[in-house]
Every structure is written in C-alpha cells, then in structure tokens.
Chain A
Amino acid sequence: MEVAFSLQKLAAYKPRKTQKSKETLDAGLVLLENGGHATKGEAGWDAIEKLALAALDQGNTEVADRCIRILSDKFPDSPRVHILTGIRLEATEKTEAVLRYYDELLEENSSTAAAWQRKAHVLRQIGKVDRAVEELSAMLDTFYTEVEGWIELADIYLSCQQYTYALQSLSHALLLSPQNPSYFLQFAETAYLAEDIPLSLKMFLQTVDMTDDDDGDIAPGDSVPSGITLRAWFGVKLCVSKLIAEPRAASSSPSQTAAPSADNLNALANLSTERLRTAYLDIKHESPPTGDNELIAALTPLVK
C-alpha cells in the first residue's frame, strides 16, 4: 500500500548532505514560491514532502518549516506529516524533547511502527545503543514486516561487531524481500566479516546470479560488470583468494556451508579475475595490473 511504503521510507530516513538534495532544494524552492503545488494534486504534495526532506538534508530548517506548515494545514491528521515533523524536530531540538514527541505519537497510535523506529534511531544517535536495540527489537517483534527496521537493526549490530545477530536480522530482511539483491550483498559482506567464508562466497555468487542481466542482448560472458555486480565479483575474488590461501577457512564455516571443490574453486578464481580485469579496463581504459594483490588494491577504491 502506498501510504505504508512512504511511512517506511520516512521511518528509515537519515539526513545526508548530497548534491542531489541541493538540486532538489533549489528546484523545489522555485515551485514553492510560485505556489504551484496546490494545483498538481498528489504529485504536488509528494514534491512538498521531498522538498522538506531535501531542506533538512542541507540544514535549511526555515524552508522545511514552511513546507511542513503547508502539509499540516492540508492534512491535519496524517501520520506522514507527524513523522516529518518529528524528523524536523530531530534537526534542532534537544533529545529529550524529541523523545517525548515520539512517545506522544506512540500513545496516540496513529503511526506506531514509524514513530517507534525513529525513536530508536534518535537513541542510537545519542549513543544509547542498547536502548536503541531494545526499542527496535520490540518494534520488530510486533511489526514484523518493517524491512527497513531489520536493516537498521543489522547495521547497529554490525557497528558493535555482533555479527551473529546482524546476520540473523539480515536473514529476516531477506525473508521479507527475497527479490532484492542488495540485501544478499549485505548478507554476504556481513558473513565475510564474521569469518564464514563459504557462506559469504555463496551469497556473493547469488548476488551475481541475480544482477548480471543474463536476459539482455549480450551474453553474460561478454558483458562488463558494473555497480552491484562488480562489487559482488570483488567479494567473490576476496573469498576465493582467502579459501585458496587458508584451507582451514573452508571447513570451519559456522553455518556448516560447504566450500566449493578444488576444481570449481580454481575455475571461480579464474573467472572472477577475468571479470574484475574486464571491469577495470572498462573504467580506467588502461591495462589492469597482473598480480592478484595489486588487482585487489586497484579495485578497492572503485567498488566503494
């Protein structure tokens, strides 16, 4: 449902100063001055909301206030407007005031999951990580389907190096959106950090399988990996190198995942090297370095 989806996005929102938000702000301000939003119907109000978020990105609270006032005049009881007001309060008010505001929203019950998630986010920002984890876990126990909530929980666990819990949270996110390759990638990277190399390798390969566009005109072997596929191939290369260098890693998987056979391992090593070299060539237009370590080092900034 459209409303629930937008609430989820608002709940997971983090202010970020980017070029894109600056452009949105400038373009949106023009629209605001003309008062054109009132005539555009649904799209107009969505644009005002985007403008408010872009203004908060850039730290321009005055424009954000104007937008929120327009929205709350038009939709007085909307949960989205309440959450947006909460985000704006987070930008300037003291933490206790913001927490009290979210507690009030939770009492009123109008936008419970989103308000709960933002409260946990605020708690995390001020450093009360264990309380944040508690709140978020309680929220997800009741509202299981908040995917962004699971992702945020995994992120918090990752920052505390609690890899098992992070993997468990990500597995719930995977269950809820099994068609989203970026969650597979996140799972694979977390598994790598948790020293479960065979699992990580399989998940990286799964990400490649999902994103390499084998239905397109070009055969997969001829295409150039980019974006998420490139990152996944990079992960494959790292896993394979580690498995070849340390045979012990192949048998000590905490999730009892089987490592590939020696032949497959070599084939994968060659394949991943070839893919990475193709990508490097395409980006940098020069010959890629021949040694493994140099290749990895050269690619690290490219996949960030």
Chain B
Amino acid sequence: VSLYLDPQIRDWVLFPITVVMILVGVLRHYVVLLLQSPPKKQPRNAVREQRALVRSQILRATSAHSPLPPSYYKAVSQYLSQAFADGTYLKDGPPKADAPASAPPNPLTDPNAMEGMMAGMKTQMVMMVPQMVIMGWINFFFQGFVLIKLPFPLTLGFKSMLQRGVETPDMDVRWVSSLSWYFLNFFGLNGLYRLILGGENSADSSRDMTSPFAAAAAAAPQPGQAQDYNKLFKAERDNLEFSEGLHTWIAHDVESRILRKYAGVPPNADDETGDGMVVKGTPARRDVSALFSQT
C-alpha cells in the first residue's frame, strides 16, 4: 500500500525541521564556547605544590645516566626526600602534628570543586534546553500526520513511538510522524556538524549521552586533591630511594672511554722530526705500538 503525501508536507515540514535543527546546533556550539570561562589563575603556593612532583621526576628521569656525580645527586635527592616528608611543598604549609587527618573537603562547600561542577552543569543546560524547546514545537505544530516513509522495515513494536499522532491499526510502520524525523535528524546531523564546525564541536549529541558520567567523574577526584598531595609526596619518597640505588654517573668511566676513542693517536712527546707537524686527515704515522699502550 502506498500513500500519496501532499508535497506541501515535504516543503513545509521536512525541510524546515532539518534547517532549524542545523541552525540550533550551530548556535549551541557558539553559546558553549562563550560560556566557557578561562581556567582560574592559581596562587603561587598551589603552583609550587603541583610542580614539586615534577621536580622529583626530573631528577629521577636521568638517574641511570645521570649528569651528576654521586655526592651531588644524593644531596638533591635527600633534600627532596626530606622536604616531602616534612611537607614543605604543601600549599598550606607543613601539616601540624596534632591535627587529625582531615576529611576531603565537602564538594558543596569547597569553592574549587563547586566551580568545576557548575561549569559542567552550565554546558548541560545549554544542550538540554534547545532540545526540549524543539520537541515541544514539533509536537505542537507538526502533529497528526505522517511525514515520511522509512526506507527500511520495522517491527510493530515501534508503531506506538513513531506514529504518535495517527494511531491507525493497519498502517505500515514505515510511515512515521514528524517527531521521529526529529530523532533521525538528532542522531544524523553529527556528521554534518563535524563538517561545518570541525572535530571538537559542542553541538555533538553523542557527547550528551556520556556527559552526565563525564561531569561526575571529573568532579569526583577534585575534592580529594588537597589530601592527595601529601600521600603523593610520601609515595614519591619511595621512588626517590629506588632511583638513588639506580644512580650511575655518566662520567664515571669517561677516561677509559676517551682513551679508547683516541687510541692510535701518536703521542707528540716523542716526536722524531721535532717540528710537531701532524697533518690532518692522514692515517699515516700510526704507531701500532701505541694501540697496545692504552690501559
């Protein structure tokens, strides 16, 4: 059975819904960009605390081929180890001896974590509000008729969802209402957004699906950070000790390396002709016995 649809349905419903959704998507992208506030500048102490770990990592990175002689390496390593134990790098100064282990700051009261959550929630509102508005608009204006015939067959279970305004018992499920065209567009326009707005666009609906989890995951470790540094510093001390054992100075046996590299260079001390001339590039005058004189 083939229904004949009024071409005006195509002109006045199909295209407008698509055009409106594209425009709203682009608008969402730019609104999210405007809403993103720049990362907050951190006070000096916080910066110092964050970079203290990097300092120890720099030291450890080259420990197997270290430029420093053992005494200097140990001096730096032990200074850092002591500083970590005392907590001199912590943002609020060394922990007082009598204070109990403080609980991680409550997300509702800690201002830093609060801001992170607010930023996530703002983006979510921007995503959700246009969707609700468009759905309401479609339901109000474009209800009660079928819009398109899907090119693929579907089971009867979809009838109630896709033919919301026109519940006829016999009509093929392939004839669907305008709301389903909305859903088709919603999932299908991601590719178009990627084309227009580039890869990292905020109009991408696949982001919305994961965003509640992403926002929660981002907020969760945030409150623990103040406490974490103390533990991280303590853990780093073990790493420092390990690297200290691993330490080798690259200049440890540099003399034998150099002597081996330059083996065969005739020593000038017993220069026979006495004019000290050594012509560059000639392999002649290579005293074979010189090769055996190196230890």
Contacts and interface: CB of A to CB of B under 8 A. Distances in A.
A147 to B, nearest CB: 11
B281 A222 contact: yes
A141 B79 CA distance: 13
Contacts of A271: 258-259, 262, 265, 267
Nearest to A116: B44
A222 B76 CA distance: 40
Contacts of A278: 278, 280
Contacts of A141: 48
Given A199-B69, A268-B259, A271-B258, A142 B251 contact: no
Given A267-B259, A287-B275, 20 more contacts: A142-B47, A167-B72, A171-B76, A172-B76, A175-B62, A202-B251, A208-B258, A220-B261, A221-B264, A223-B280, A256-B70, A260-B255, A263-B295, A268-B258, A271-B259, A271-B265, A274-B268, A278-B278, A278-B280, A281-B276
Interface residues of B, number: 49
Contact of A281 (B251, B261, B278): B278
Nearest to A221: B265
Contacts of A267: 259, 293-295
Contacts of B102: none
Nearest to B60: A175
A181 to B, nearest CB: 10
Contacts of A184: 67
Contacts of B267: 270-271, 273-274
A205 B47 CA distance: 39
B51 interface: yes
Contacts of A202: 69, 251-252, 254-255
12 contacts: A142-B48, A145-B54, A175-B62, A178-B62, A178-B67, A221-B263, A267-B293, A268-B258, A271-B259, A273-B267, A281-B278, A290-B276
Contacts, number: 124
Nearest to B42: A109
B269 A273 contact: yes
Contacts of A75: none
A102 to B, nearest CB: 15
Contacts of B65: 178
Contacts of B281: 218, 222
A202 B251 CA distance: 6
B278 to A, nearest CB: 5
Interface in B22-54: 41, 44, 47-48, 51, 54
B96 interface: no
A92 interface: no
A19 interface: no
A10 interface: no
Complex A-B, nearest 9 residue pairs according to Cβ-Cβ distance, in ascending order: A270-B267, A221-B265, A206-B251, A202-B251, A174-B67, A255-B71, A205-B254, A142-B48, A178-B67
